[in-house]
Structure 1
Amino acid sequence: MAVRILTLVGSLRSGSHNRRLAEAAVQIAPEHVEVGLFEGLDTVPFYNEDIDAEGSVPAPAARLREAAAEADALLLVSPEYNGTIPAVLKNAIDWLSRPYGAGALSGKPVAVVGTAFGQYGGVWAQDEARKAVKIAGGVVAEDLTLSIPSSVVRFADLHPVDDPEVTEKLSGVVEGLAARAAATV
């Protein structure tokens, strides 16, 4: 049985470098690992406890929770917006953290990677994502990281899957995350 990794991308732009990095994770996954991209984070409403009631959870949020619950692990791919995590990714973490103590992130291995225009590759946003995931009950794989700087230049004419350094490091993250997930099943 394949290990299932759900990937959430913090950029909604169709041609974003982080979206392409997530696509690369799908393409380079080994045979025993199924990496899937969650589509529709843009339709998940902002978390509001008033609408998070049994029987009335908005369908996009319920679909997100279901996809995360079915996954063995999560891979978050985050750009950096104004020095921090994009709202769409933080919102997904908020929905996945509920119900408190039993959310879809609870006890699941999670890795955070990403690329950004700046010289540090979005590490501030990735650190914020790891912090939020930990508080939400996920088990953050602190040693499985990848921060790619200068995305606008590096990926101007090159898809991340065609960059040998990126695919080597991304493969390490995917394989490490799959091994953590297999160990917890």
Structure 2
Amino acid sequence: MSEYKILAISGSLRAGSHNTALLRAAQKHQPGGLNIEIYEGLREIPPYDQDLDNPQDRPAVVGELRRLVSEADGLLLATPEFNYSIPGALKNAIDWLSTDWSKSEGLPLLRKPIAISGAAPTNFGSVRAQLALRQVFVWTDSDVVVKPEVIMFRSYERFDEGGNLTDETSIELLQGLLGALKTKIETAAAAR
């Protein structure tokens, strides 16, 4: 059985983030065959600047993110919801990943299998942020998992004080999402 490389990105910069904890839960509860690496550099990504968006001038941290995404078999995103939408830091990183103005590098997100999840303390969780992300990934022509949806509402009720996911329904949904992502990756690999 092949092991697929998954790059996991939390849209939250907060130290005690439930979204980052959700990615750690994904590492722990994954269905097997996935190597989930959590990206730690989102805070370092500078604001998108098209004048610098070319292989010669691009900031090194952005070049590294593009390399990691290109080398990954799939992406797992966990997003909070800010003002009914995507956190700015996450959207900014996606902007850096969505281009190839030089027509020489390829598009890191093109047909990339992506699973979206999210946690928030509100009654609607991250539903609107996830919808906004899905819209962005239509433009990048990414292969987004449609179901199951992991929209963790009242997230403070689902994690213990150590940041461990304890809610069995949430664990099952997360496992289903990861299984669907793995299926998309396997389908893409078989088509090559």
Query: Which band: TM-score by shorter chain?
Result: over 0.9
Kindly tell me: are residues 142 and 108 of structure 1, through their superposed partners in 2, closer, same or farther at Cα, counting changes over 3 Å? Answer: same
TM-score (norm 2): 0.90
Name the CA distance, whole Å, in 2 between partners of 1:162 and 1:153: 9
The farther-off stretch of 24-33 and 149-158 is 149-158
- TM-align CA RMSD: 1.6
Q: Residues of 2 paired with 1:29 and 1:155: CA distance?
A: 17
CA shift, 1:80, in A, is: 0.4
Which residue matches 2:31?
Answer: 30
Worse-matched range after superposition: 60-69 or 155-164: 155-164
TM-score, length-scaled by structure 1: 0.93
Please say if 1:3 is aligned against 2:7.
Answer: no
Give the superposition deviation at 1:54.
Answer: 2.0
- The within-5 A match list for 1:52-71 is 52-71=53-72
The reply to whether residue 15 of structure 1 matches residue 19 of structure 2 is no
What are the Cα deviations for residues 48-75 of structure 1, in whole angstroms up to 9, with x where unaligned? 1111122221011011101100111111
Percent identity over the alignment is 35
Aligned length: 185
Kept after mapping to 1: 8 A contact 2:79/2:87: yes
- The aligned amino acid for 1:36 is E
Aligned AA (1:175): G
| Worse-superposed segment, 58-67 or 28-37 | 28-37
Among candidates 132, 135, 138, match of residue 136 of structure 2: 132
SS in 1 for 2:49: coil
- The match for 2:170 among 163, 166, 173 is 166
Aligned residue for 1:50, secondary structure, equals helix
Please give the secondary structure, in 1, of the residue aligned with 2:121.
coil
2:138 aligned counterpart, secondary structure: helix
Q: Equivalent of 1:114, from 112, 118, 121?
A: 118
Identify the residue that residue 80 of structure 1 maps to in structure 2: 81
Q: Retained in 1: the 8 A contact 2:70–2:108?
A: yes
Structure 2 gaps, min length 5: none
Contact 2:73 2:112 survives alignment (8 Å) = yes
